[in-house]
Amino acid sequence: MKVQVARRDTSLELPRYASRGAVGFDLITREDTTIPPGAFGLVPSNVIVQVPAGYALLILPRSSLPRKKGLICPHSIGVIDEDYHGPEDEIYVQVQNITGEPVTVERGERIAQGLLVKIDRAEWTEVEDHGAETRGGFGSTGTHH
């Protein structure tokens, strides 16, 4: 699939897949960003992506982010819609510093990955009853005895 991308800083590389079997491509940071202890920060990814019609772009933290940097993504996942690709629509990665010290994400560092996912839009049909038994609520299938 061909995807149009614009880089804010063309001296940094395009997003790329780290291995032949990787499903997510790495996003790298455009500039050094320091996040104070306990604070939230927005880290620029350097790219504006025109998500193909019928797809969504999911932004996920790299699995090593908490261990290596002491950062988490408080919203767990970011969703980039196909119509978010204007000239100022650079993708930012929201992070939270969970350490007691300032954390700096350095220019060119990989902290997140993107995943293109095919989607369908729902056409809602309202019903009075689904005709199924109640399963027991939130977490009902994970009960331990």
- How confident is the prediction along the chain (145 residues), in pLDDT tens digits per residue? 999 999 999 999 999 999 999 999 999 999 999 999 999 999 999 999 999 999 999 999 999 999 999 999 998 899 999 999 999 999 999 999 999 999 999 999 999 999 999 999 999 999 998 887 877 776 667 665 5
Report the CATH number that the domain containing residue 15 is assigned in CATH. Answer: 2.70.40.10
Whether the Cβ atoms of residue 91 and residue 29 lie closer than 8 Å to each other: no
Flag whether 131 is in a domain: no
Count of structural domains, the chain: 1
Flag whether 24 is in a domain: yes
Cα(20)–Cα(124) distance, rounded to whole angstroms? 39
Whether the Cβ atoms of residue 140 and residue 27 lie closer than 8 Å to each other: no
Residue 78 is part of which domain span?
4-120
Rg (CA), the chain: 19
pTM: 0.85
Cα(53)–Cα(9) distance, rounded to whole angstroms? 26
